């Protein structure tokens, strides 16, 4: 089964063709980060306009790269939410129209389920049940996954997402948006033990996160060390990164031990952080826990993960309707992932 995936929830217009939920035939990502960089964050209206311009060429290029024509597609999978409404609408409306014209099924995919499914696009995949972290610019969620269609939310951030904290600290030290990879690069030149920022673990049994405290603590540190700031920046980046990573690792291993899982999958933009992966792997090994991460190109937003999730939804006959709409946030009171 060949599924065309489409993703437009934030500042990437992406399309991918994936065979049997596993093999990527082509994957194209048109990123808008350079445009948004000068504003210090994503400007929703600009994002929507750029999606309109990019969607047709991106899908055309994907077909060309895979050497396929439209009539060889079996289903269209598209991000339905959460994300920016205007941005989501471009991909969602395009997918509906294409599925209608080709008379094939279309499925609206939850973006977070997409990230979770990015782990299956690898040769080496975790065994069920496993613990999955989605760590992105908008979410920090820990799930217990016992089948391809079952996502049980164990914990989530109560304030800032971890990627958001990276982005905000990056802005504070003048590196701009997006901040994750910039902080990671600068941290390589710093000493993580020089400045100790607070680790917030919340209640003993909680798998929730809070990253607003560390953000304020970094800001206070910057304000009281203004005269030496330039030379302190690498240590600030390293100290901040280490504190955040320590909290993520602590909760992930605790979740694994509680549920007796022996595999952890990390996904989302923050999973591209190599220091995080390395330290998590080292710590997890002490408990005979294995760590899985998608290739870097599939950690950030992409359409192959949407096609992968779409494949399992089609197999479950979990189709969407042409009068379905996009949504900006997961419904309150849901498991955090239901539409």
With a CB cutoff of 8 Å and minimum separation 6, the contacts of 242 are 187, 192, 193
If 0-12 CB within 10 Å is exposed, 13-18 middle and 19+ buried, where does residue 147 land?
exposed
Residues 296-315 contacting ligand KG4, CB under 6 A: 300-301
**What x/- string results for residues 262 through 301 when contact with ligand KG4 is judged by CB under 6 A?**
------xxx-xx--------------------------xx
If 0-12 CB within 10 Å is exposed, 13-18 middle and 19+ buried, where does residue 248 land?
buried
Q: How far is the CB of 165 from ligand KG4 (least distance, A)?
A: 8
CA distance 274 to 76: 33
Closest CA to 138 of 311, 329, 339: 329
Closest CA to 267 of 295, 244, 239, 231: 295
> Does residue 10 touch ligand KG4 according to CB under 6 A?
yes
Beta bridge partners of 232: none
Closer Cβ to ligand KG4, 155 or 294, answer by number: 294
Q: Are 92 and 108 in contact (CB under 8 A)?
A: yes
- Characterise 82 by phi-psi region: left (phi > 0), alpha (psi -120 to 50), beta (else): beta
Closer Cβ to ligand KG4, 138 or 310, answer by number: 138
Q: How far is the CB of 233 from ligand KG4 (least distance, A)?
A: 16
Instruction: Using the rule CB under 6 A, give the single segment among 97-105, 133-141, 221-229, 322-330 that binds ligand KG4.
Output: 133-141
Q: 58 is written with which tokens? A: 């991106």
Residues 287-316 contacting Zn ion, CB under 5 A: 301
Q: How far is the CB of 161 from ligand KG4 (least distance, A)?
A: 7
Binds ligand KG4 (CB under 6 A): choice among 137, 192, 234, 336: 137
Instruction: Using the rule CB under 5 A, give the single segment among 132-140, 145-153, 271-279, 311-319 that binds Zn ion.
Output: 132-140
Instruction: Using the rule CB under 5 A, give the single segment among 84-92, 130-138, 227-235, 329-337 that binds Zn ion.
Output: 130-138
With a CB cutoff of 8 Å and minimum separation 6, the contacts of 278 are none
Judged by the rule CB under 6 A, the positions of this chain that interact with ligand KG4 are 10, 136-138, 163-164, 166-167, 178-181, 184, 268-270, 272-273, 300-301
Given the rule CB under 5 A, which residues bind Zn ion? 136, 301
């Amino acid at each position: 089964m060949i599924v065309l995936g489409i993703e437009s929830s934030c500042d990437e217009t992406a399309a991918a063709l994936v065979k049997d939920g596993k093999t990527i035939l082509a994957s194209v990502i048109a990123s808008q980060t350079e445009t948004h960089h000068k504003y210090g964050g994503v400007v929703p209206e600009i994002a929507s306009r750029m999606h309109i311009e990019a969607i047709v060429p991106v899908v055309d290029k994907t077909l060309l790269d895979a050497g396929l024509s439209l009539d060889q597609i079996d289903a269209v999978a598209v991000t339905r939410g959460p994300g920016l409404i205007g941005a989501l609408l471009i991909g969602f409306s395009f997918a509906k129209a294409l599925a209608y014209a080709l008379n094939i099924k279309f499925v609206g995919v939850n973006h977070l389920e997409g990230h979770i499914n990015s782990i299956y696009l690898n040769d080496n995949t975790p065994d069920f049940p496993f613990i999955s972290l989605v760590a992105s610019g908008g979410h920090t969620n820990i799930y217990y996954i016992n089948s391809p269609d079952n996502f049980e939310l164990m914990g989530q951030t109560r304030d800032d997402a971890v990627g958001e904290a990276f982005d905000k600290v990056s802005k504070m030290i003048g590196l701009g948006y997006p901040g994750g990879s910039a902080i990671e690069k600068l941290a390589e030149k710093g000493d993580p033990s020089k400045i100790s920022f607070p680790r917030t673990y919340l209640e003993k049994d909680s798998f929730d996160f809070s990253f607003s405290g560390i953000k304020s603590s970094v800001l206070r540190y910057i304000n009281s060390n203004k005269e030496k700031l330039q030379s302190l920046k690498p240590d600030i980046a390293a100290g901040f990164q280490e504190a955040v990573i320590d909290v993520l690792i602590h909760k992930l291993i605790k979740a694994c031990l509680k549920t007796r899982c022996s595999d952890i999958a990390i996904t989302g933009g923050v999973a591209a952080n190599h220091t995080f992966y390395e330290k998590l792997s080292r710590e997890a090994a002490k408990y005979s826990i294995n760590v899985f991460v998608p290739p870097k190109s599939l950690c950030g937003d992409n359409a192959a993960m949407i096609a992968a999730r779409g494949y399992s939804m089609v197999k479950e006959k979990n189709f969407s309707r042409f009068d379905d709409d996009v949504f900006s946030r997961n419904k309150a009171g849901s498991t955090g992932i239901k539409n």
